[in-house]
Chains A and B, each alone.
Chain A
Amino acid sequence: MFEAGFFYLFATMAVVGGMGVVLARHTMHSVMFLIFCFFNSAGLFFLLDAEFLGIILILIYVGAVMVLFMFVIMMLEVNQAKLREGFLQYLPMGGMIALILLIEFIGAASSGIFHTDAIAAVGHFGKDVNNTVEIGKILYTQYLLGFEIAAIILLVALVGAIVLTLRTRQDAKYQNISKQVNVRKEDRLRKVRM
């Protein structure tokens, strides 16, 4: 009973958070709603005994990704009135996407694949089954290739982002710390006989 209660609580709050992201007038408030939504999704993971996934969700999304989002948004002066200008123009396109998604979801939900009987573990495992260990084992044996490919894609994206944005400004005066540290007495000091 408790579990169902908490499920409905987290699920409702996650949906409320999601609605808030779209409907909030202020961009900063949208970000806060998104963080709220992530917390509730983490709560859903905890209900499924997937504490590793739940905490990783908070650590990565709330602790790192959203901070950077907020960092960027903080710097922007978003004019809401201007954003709403093309609302009617984009409505058909957006509405169509929403409709297609809705049909997909209804189709998937009614197909019977996502029924509780078909999903293997409905009940809870004992305390000795460690979620983290299980994920680690399966990730580094069965799905090793996919895992490595994902890691390489991330690395490439990382390097690409740095290459695209890195520029050394010629007009700015930088201090090269390792150069400063490596200075010897002989480089700076010259003995002069008087």
Chain B
Amino acid sequence: MEWTDMALTGLIWALEILAIAVPIALSVAYITYAERRVIGLMQVRKGCNRVGPLGLLQPLADGLKLFLKETIIPAKSNKILFVAAPVMALVPALVAFAVVPFGETTLFGLWDTAHVMAIAHLNVGILYILAISSLAIYGVLMAGWSSNSKYALIASVRATCQMISYEISMGFALVCVLMLAGSMDLSVIVNAQKGGFWHWYIIPLFPMFLVYFISGCAETNRTPFDLVEGEAELVAGHIVEYSGMWFATFSLAEYGAMILISLLTSILFMGGWDAPIPALDFIPGTVWLLMKTSFFIFVFIWFRATFPRFRYDQMMRLGWKVFLPWTLAWIAVLGLFTYAGELNSSLTILSDMIGYYQPWRS
């Protein structure tokens, strides 16, 4: 390979990464705005409406304020890990976006075949996202431990238990999707749901959809599972000692993870970039995907305005005693349905039913 070619490839990669990272940072800023406005609306008050027209410049003002604030490092903290922790929280949240496909494009007819719009087109995409999002916990753990503060430590202990518990049911919900799509490639999963909303996996996997989304809520430490931050008992949990930009990095990571969960829910259960009815195909797929994602982000905010925080034992019970049996049972049910026809010819109707959603069988 020539050096010029390599430089060009590097440049294209850098541009691709920027084309995803910059919109994420911007949308994080405006999700905080949307969150304040929507919750304001739900609680019959105005929300932020002073900075700029309709308060639209509020996120920029917030960012500037946080940027100008002093970063305080506690004297008795473990300084290296204290500084590294926000970065460790942010990196997995951003790196996971590398495999998320945002649509398929022929670049306005320039290419013959449709290419998947993702930085990296992995055939183990789902596993990659699971692996990367399981790393997000290190940021919280390190922040809590290195702060040398009891509130932060308790928060990180809680975070560990919570994220590990909900990761399991999340993984099993994904297994159900894999059993239908027959691939771990995210673009194959979307293409398996092509052709209108009756092909979407939300229909055969509705309980798994609920489990995945609620577990996603718990994974990102959003209300009603924000016991990690629980301001009533833990002040602000693992971020209690952080100030200025390092504090902002944590919220950047949290909202980034929220976008990721919303994107994945749309991709795995809501047909990704497919229109709900084929007649609406003239709207570009990416627009559909982003619309679905925005809807789920709205649901996250809606949750926050609606539900009170869970008690810790209630949350553990939900993860281990409700979600885990549900997901395991659903895997067994799907497996039985898939191969019921081979056991007994009178049960063929069951495997035909589930076979409608399984393109790999035909």
- Using a CB–CB cutoff of 8 Å, the interface residues on chain A facing chain B are 28, 32, 35, 51-52, 55-56, 58-59, 62-64, 67-68, 70-71, 74-75, 130-132, 174-175, 177
Partner among A52, A70, A174 whose Cβ is within 8 Å of the Cβ of B141 = A70
B235 on the interface (CB 8 Å rule)? Answer: no
**Is the beta-carbon distance between A51 and B122 smaller than 8 angstroms?**
yes
Query: CB within 8 A of A51: which of B123, B130, B138?
Result: B123
**Would you call B124 and A52 a contact (CB within 8 A)?**
yes
Contact with A along B120-139 (1 / 0, CB 8 A): 00111001101110110110
Inter-chain CA distance A62–B130, complex, in Å, is: 12
Top 5 closest A-B pairs, CB basis? A63-B134, A59-B131, A58-B131, A55-B127, A74-B145
**Which residue from B124, B144, B164 sits with its C-beta under 8 Å from A55?**
B124
> In the complex, given contacts A51-B122, A59-B127, what are 4 additional A-B residue pairs having Cβ atoms less than 8 angstroms apart?
A58-B131, A58-B135, A64-B167, A177-B314
CB distance from A66 to the nearest CB of B (A): 8
Asked if B141 and A63 sit within 8 Å, CB to CB, the answer is no
Task: List, in ascending order, chain A residues with CB within 8 A of B81's CB.
Answer: 28, 32
Q: How far is the CA of A28 from the CA of B145 in the complex (A)?
A: 10
Kindly list chain B residues whose C-beta atoms are within 8 Å of the C-beta of A35.
Answer: 138
- B-side contacts of A71, CB under 8 Å: 141, 157, 160
Residue of B nearest to A73 (CB): B145
Complex: A188 Cα to B96 Cα, angstroms: 51
Q: Which residues of chain A are near B314, meaning CB under 8 Å?
A: 177
Main secondary structure of the interface of B (DSSP, over half): helix
Interface residues of B (CB under 8 A from A): 78, 81, 122-124, 127-128, 130-132, 134-135, 137-138, 141, 144-145, 153, 156-157, 160, 164, 167, 184, 313-314, 317
Inside 8 A of A174's CB, which chain B residues have their CB?
313
Least CB separation from A127: chain B residue:
B123
How distant is B317 from chain A, measured CB to nearest CB, in Å?
6
Given the interface pairs A28-B145, A64-B164, A67-B160, the reply to whether A52 lies near B127 with Cβ below 8 Å is yes
CA distance A131 to B184 in the complex (A): 11
Find out whether the CB atom of B124 lies under 8 angstroms from the CB atom of A64: no
Q: Is the CB of B131 within 8 A of A175?
A: no
Report whether A74 and B184 are in contact in the complex, using a CB–CB cutoff of 8 Å: no
Q: If the complex has contacts A28-B81, A132-B184, are A62 and B135 also in contact, measured as CB distance less than 8 A?
A: yes
Contact across chains for B123 and A132 when beta carbons are under 8 A apart: yes
The answer to whether B145 touches A177 (Cβ under 8 A) is no
Contacts of B164 in A (CB 8 A): 64, 67-68
Q: How far is the CB of B157 from chain A (nearest CB, A)?
A: 7
Which residues of chain A come closer than 8 Å to B131, judged between CB atoms?
A: 55-56, 58-59, 62-63
| Cα–Cα, bound, A131→B130 (Å) | 18
7 A-B interface contacts by CB (under 8 A): A28-B145, A59-B131, A63-B130, A64-B134, A70-B141, A74-B145, A175-B313
Nearest B residue to A26 via CB reads B78
Report if A59-B134 is in contact (Cβ < 8 Å); known contacts: A67-B160, A177-B314. Answer: yes
The CA of A132 and the CA of B185, in the complex, are separated in Å by 11
B311, closest chain A residue (CB): A175
Query: In the complex, how many angstroms separate the beta carbon of A173 from the nearest chain B beta carbon?
Result: 12
CA distance in complex: A64, B78 (Å): 24
Determine which of A32, A51, A63, A75 lies in contact with B135 in the assembled complex, contact meaning CB atoms within 8 Å: A63
A13 to chain B, nearest CB (A): 17
A177 near B317 with CB under 8 A, answer yes
Given A58-B131, A67-B141, A132-B124 contact (CB < 8 Å): yes
Task: For the complex formed, measure the closest distance between the CB of A19 and the CB atoms of chain B, giving whole angstroms.
Answer: 18
CB distance from B131 to the nearest CB of A (A): 4
Whole-angstrom distance between the alpha carbons of A56 and B127 in the complex? 8
Q: How far, in angstroms, from A59 to B96 measured CA to CA in the complex?
A: 13
Q: B273 to nearest A CB, angstroms?
A: 23
Cα distance, A79 to B209, chains bound together (Å): 47
In the bound complex, residues from chain B placing their C-beta under 8 Å from that of A70 are 138, 141, 145, 160
**Inter-chain contact A59/B184, CB cutoff 8 Å:** no
Of A35, A55, A58, A62, most buried by chain B (CB within 10 Å of CB) is A55
With contacts A63-B135, A64-B164, A175-B313 known, is A130 near B128, CB below 8 A?
A: no
Chain A residues whose CB sits within 8 angstroms of the CB of B167 once the complex forms: 63-64
Check B153–A74 contact: CB distance below 8 A.
yes
Q: Determine the chain B residues whose CB is within 8 A of the CB of A75 once the complex forms.
A: 157
B317 contacts which chain A residues (CB < 8 A)?
Answer: 177
**In the complex, are the beta carbons of B130 and A59 less than 8 A apart?**
yes
Who on chain B is nearest to A75 by CB?
Answer: B157
In Å, the complex CA distance between A55 and B128 comes to: 6
Chain A hits for B124, CB < 8 A: 51-52, 55, 131-132
Find the A residue at minimum CB distance from B81. Answer: A28
For the complex, give the distance between the alpha carbons of A177 and B153 in Å: 28
A55 contacts which chain B residues (CB < 8 A)? 124, 127-128, 131
